[in-house]
Structure 1
Amino acid sequence: MCGIGHQYSDLRYTVTIPKKWLGNLPRFVAKEINPDSAQVEIASLTALALSSPSATPDHGILKMRYYPTRRTSRSLRSTRTVRFPNDVLFLDHIRQGDLEQVGRFIRARKVTLDTIYLTGMGALHEAVLSGNLECVKLLIKYGADIEQRDENGWTPLHMACSDAYPHIARYLLSLGAEKEVVNSDGEKPCELIDSDCEELVQLFSTKEGD
């Protein structure tokens, strides 16, 4: 996609780009800051620079100067900072399986484990949906309720059955999770099991036979 050359003596880089991108480039003019903390000045933009051997009817030539950036304290102060609520960060750590951060948030009391978040679920529900058994164990260790219901009356066991996580379902059952509990639609966890998930089917068949 990109071809770097030095055929223009007054320019540091020449980059070949798809012609369809040309309309999106003017907003980057005038030394915009790149993520790598460098500045790029678009010196000129030619839709079809046919004098270049790399130009084609479908490509244009973007000629740029590159300047290393010296960050000053003033520029650092002017940098905008985006802060996310603790709840958002906490749920993201759960979904990413970052057990260290999950534990830190709980120990620092930045979150409470009985909260029903904007997703309509609690932290333990989110951990079950991620399929991360170790995260489930960690939350329960810190006091998460294995019978907590989400906004639709689903328990973590409902989630484990519906999303086919037999290893999590087995663990929740070993802790005494109620298998006869129904959600807001009157469904038991076992009624949400996909018949193709033989391990879950067998797990609940065994439990029913006990």
Structure 2
Amino acid sequence: HETIFQNPNSTSPAEESLKSAPRNVHFPNDVVFQDCVRHGELERIGPFIRGRRVSLDTIYHSGMAAIHEAVLSGNLDCVMLLMKHGADLHHRDEEGWTPLHMACSDGFPEIARYLLSLGADREILNESGEKPADLIDAANKELLELFGLVAGD
């Protein structure tokens, strides 16, 4: 006859296996995709789009679509990749801002130049009645020149 003494502070083998089991947390495709766009993980963006696991038209909880998130990240390569995969040049966020509005407001002349080269509408108004050029910071000479708002040197 054998007596087994168990330490009250120890855990059972079943409890141990629960503690050591890897935890898998799954996020919706849109959440993962939005994060990839924000961080400019270009190698992960294409497969999401090609696999039709996300829609470029989706407006996220942030009030913006992927193209807006890419512009705000300041990552021209990411913007170019989304446009190559069919993002809407004139997609509006919840406040009627287009990607060009965001590029102007956040001071990204290289992104604004690229969007304009694709035919972005300079005259389009957001819900506050502002054109993209109305949102340019007075200190951003490159954007002001791009919109013909200051004389070049």
TM-score of the pair, normalised by structure 1? 0.61
Moved segments of 4+, more than 2 Å: 73-81
Q: Distance in 2 between matches of 1:145 and 1:80?
A: 38
Structure having greater relative contact order (Cα 8 Å, sep ≥ 6): 2
Alignment of 1:60-209 (within 5 A): 74-75=17-18, 78-205=21-148
Question: Residues 120-146 of structure 1, C-alpha deviation per residue, up to 9 Å, x if partnerless?
Answer: 001100000000000000000000001
- SS of 1:164's partner is coil
Write 1 or 2 for the structure with the bigger share of helix.
2
Question: Residues 122-171 of structure 1, C-alpha deviation per residue, up to 9 Å, x if partnerless?
Answer: 11000000000000000000000010000000000000000000000000
Q: Distance in 1 between matches of 2:19 and 2:49?
A: 32
Q: Distance in 1 between matches of 2:115 and 2:23?
A: 44
| Pair member with larger Rg | 1
Write 1 or 2 for the structure with the bigger share of strand.
1
Q: Which amino acid in the other structure matches residue 125 of structure 1?
A: H
- SS of 1:205's partner is coil
Unmatched tracts of structure 1, length 5 or more: 1-29, 32-72
Pairwise CA distance, 1:75: 4.3
Q: Distance in 1 between matches of 2:67 and 2:22?
A: 36
Deviates more, 1:83-92 or 1:192-201: 83-92
Q: Distance in 2 between matches of 1:179 and 1:169?
A: 10
Question: Percent identity at matched positions?
Answer: 60
Q: Distance in 2 between matches of 1:140 and 1:79?
A: 38
Unmatched tracts of structure 2, length 5 or more: 1-8, 11-15
TM-score of the pair, normalised by structure 2? 0.84
Instruction: Count the aligned residue pairs.
Output: 136
Q: Distance in 2 between matches of 1:181 and 1:115?
A: 21
Pairwise CA distance, 1:104: 1.0
Pairwise CA distance, 1:81: 2.2
- SS of 1:154's partner is coil
